Chains A and B, each alone.
Chain A
Amino acid sequence: MHDRAVAHVKSPPAGTLAGVSLDIWRRLAIAGALAVALAVPFAAKNFFIFQMTLAIIYAIAILGLNLLTGFNGQFSLGHSAFYALGAYTAAIMMEHGGLGYYWTLPAAGMVCFVAGFLFGLPALRLEGIYLALATFALAVAMPQILKSTPLEPWTGGVQGIVIIKPDAPFGLPLNSDQWLYFLSLAVALVLYACAVNLVGSRTGRAMIAIRDHPIAASAMGINVSLYKSLTFGVSALYTGVAGALGAVAISFVAPDSFTFVLAIGLFVGLVVGGVGSIPGTLFGGLFVLFVPNIAEHISKGLAGAAYGVILMLIIYAMPSGAAGLCRLIIGKFVRHGR
């Protein structure tokens, strides 16, 4: 079942392109992307900077989901719940604790790590479609729990919490949109670097081994239960940090912001970006943010249908996501070393 369930992650292809080794190309691509990312806030309108901030935030959330699904083979259709948990942690700390927004990011991460780990324990018993449904149930239940009467003193019930948008600190000559963009970018860089290291580490190999063959992994002495729960925790941590950033960027949290539609959006972003690809999550983030806008541009009355058609076409064009397509294209031009 498992080999059918998840697309394989191929190790980066070795070889040369135009006489230069792929590794150098990769470094060039990263440097180029980073240069563009740093230039955006000085070349674009505030509104576009804001959109890019959101895209980065969604990309982080999708990265969290990818660590779980792409590298550990556990489905989740419920990551909106962890996103919400992170967002509310941030909002409540700022509103009721009077704490600065920068404190909320690590706090949201920790809260979500614990929540994810705890959810991961019972989830160990569930596989494939059953786990997908259990997590989807979590996504559906989350808005109701957030607005329930017992929690209302903290969550503000259906009205949510309005928070103050932060200005740039230390007298930096940036407006709040530019500052939030750089903050999100910096957080993203740290989290992406951690993810790359994690996946390449001994732990990461254990995660992937569990995905590919849980029984063999267990026979090799890997503590499958522990690793699966920990992965769930780390995945929730990433998504929770994204949620906290999202709450600060939007300056408002409400139960309606975190319905199952968000969970599905993150999931779609994961698949179109490429399951098991770390750079692919960036494409996923952009997709989540921009494709609905394109869809409604095509037709107001049929905005949903336009979105569906675009999604279908993308899947036909690149069945293993943007990352898969890139690999395919590079593969055509590369001269293999061996």
Chain B
Amino acid sequence: MELLLHQVLAGLATGGIYACMALAVVMIYQAIDHLNFAQGEMAMFSTFIAWQLLQWGVPYWAAFVLTIAISFLAGVVIERTVFKPIHKAPVLTHVVMFIALFAIINSAAGFIWDFTIKSVPSPFGTQPLFGQRLISAHDAGMIAVTLVLLVLLYLFFRHTRVGLAMRAAAANPDSARLAGIRVGWMVALGWGMAAAVGSVAGMLIAPVVFLEPNMMLSILLYGFAAAVVGGLTSPGGAVFGGFAVGVVENLAGTFIPYVGRELKLSIALFIIVAVLIVKPSGLFGRRVVTRV
């Protein structure tokens, strides 16, 4: 029973990682209607920037804010230079561009900062929270930041003019343009914000998994899985999905006899596909009704 409790808590802690990434995934999906396969790499690169700033002696919170700003700008620049020329191209072309971007960022990070793992300090410390050994201060802090981000994003998309404009631009670019929304810049803004959210995720994840160029490879997959389970249109669903995936994966790995240990990831993925088959738009997603 104690093992169960421990595994659930560890699952929530790992789930916080996925939730963080899933939020970034939902962010970009809201803005451009695509899943950005290079998002994990962008977050990884941002984290390296933060690490480099810390190495240069910049205080933690200054580096934190600076990294978010740099990431935001980088996101906007990438959209304007790389993706604007092909914004009319079909989805598959976009996916290939994401793959290209992925390869470039991953390779460049390895070239600049090498592949040896780097430890990134946690702003919350790694000591156990309140003296118990179940969950560390960093895990708790990460979950808290994720929830704060969630609330901010929710307010942004529901209650600000820019947020609404951005959703309109993604959902129906033509109508949005007619309504006077500058769709192109909304997309760029979405990229910037997604990169910024991603950089926060990266900086929070790195103290747990250690920073290296392939840090995000699998985390992005889990982030996608979490976002899809929760529903790509729902930030709250994505966060819930993150925690759910973390817990389910740990429990499957621990308690399913014989194959559970080896096929932990496969079982988690299978469960996700099963959820999708029952609820094709995720647990909290909106069903898109096509007009005939």
B72-90 CB contacts (< 8 Å) to partner A? 82, 85-86, 89-90
Enumerate A113-148 residues with CB–CB distance to B below 8 Å. Answer: 122, 125-130, 132-134, 136-138, 140-141, 144-145, 148
What is the size, in residues, of chain A's interface with B at 8 Å between Cβ atoms?
51
* Chain A residues, Cβ within 8 Å of B93: 271, 315, 319-320
Main secondary structure of the interface of B (DSSP, over half): helix
Would you call A33 an interface residue if the criterion is a C-beta within 8 Å of the partner chain's C-beta atoms? no
Whether A309 is near chain B, meaning CB under 8 Å from some CB there, is yes
C-alpha gap A303/B110 in the complex (Å)? 11
Please determine whether B96 and A268 come into contact, CB atoms closer than 8 angstroms: yes
Interchain CB contact under 8 A, B90 and A4:
yes
Residue A38 lies at the interface, judged by CB distance under 8 Å to chain B: no
List 18 interface pairs A-B (beta carbons < 8 Å), by A numbering. A4-B90, A4-B91, A6-B91, A125-B277, A133-B224, A140-B265, A144-B266, A145-B263, A148-B259, A267-B96, A271-B96, A275-B90, A304-B103, A304-B107, A304-B110, A305-B107, A308-B103, A315-B97
Q: Which of A137, A150, A271 contacts B259 (CB 8 A)?
A: A150
Q: Is the interface of A mostly helix, strand, loop or mixed?
A: helix
Which one of B89, B258, B266, B277 lies within 8 Å of A141 (CB-CB)?
Answer: B266
Q: Mark B1-43, 1 if CB is under 8 A from A, else 0.
A: 0000000000000000000000000000000001100000000
Q: Which residue of A lies closest to B261 (CB)?
A: A149
Identify the 9 closest CB pairs spanning chains A and B, nearest first.
A304-B107, A308-B103, A308-B104, A305-B107, A141-B266, A137-B269, A311-B100, A308-B100, A304-B103
For the complex, is B108 an interface residue (Cβ under 8 Å from A)? yes
B178 at the binding interface (Cβ < 8 Å):
no
Q: Report how many residues on chain B are interfacial, defined by Cβ distance under 8 Å.
A: 46
A312 contacts chain B at the CB level, 8 A cutoff: yes
Pairwise interchain contact B104-A305, C-beta atoms closer than 8 A: yes
**How far is A129 from B224 in the complex, measured between Cα atoms in Å?**
11
Residue of B nearest to A215 (CB): B292
* B258 in contact with A150 (CB, 8 Å): yes
A311 and B99 in contact, given A149-B262, A302-B108 (Cβ under 8 angstroms): yes
| A301 on interface, CB distance cutoff 8 Å | yes
**Does A134 lie within 8 Å of B90, measured CB to CB?**
no
* Chain A residue with Cβ nearest B267: A141
Contacts of A192 in B (CB 8 A): none
Tell me which of A145, A215, A272, A305 contacts B96 (CB under 8 A): A272
Chain B residues with CB under 8 Å of A302's CB are 107-108, 111
Cα-based distance from A134 to B97 in the complex (angstroms): 20
Residues facing A in B132-148 (CB within 8 A) are none
Output the least CB separation between B264 and chain A (Å): 9
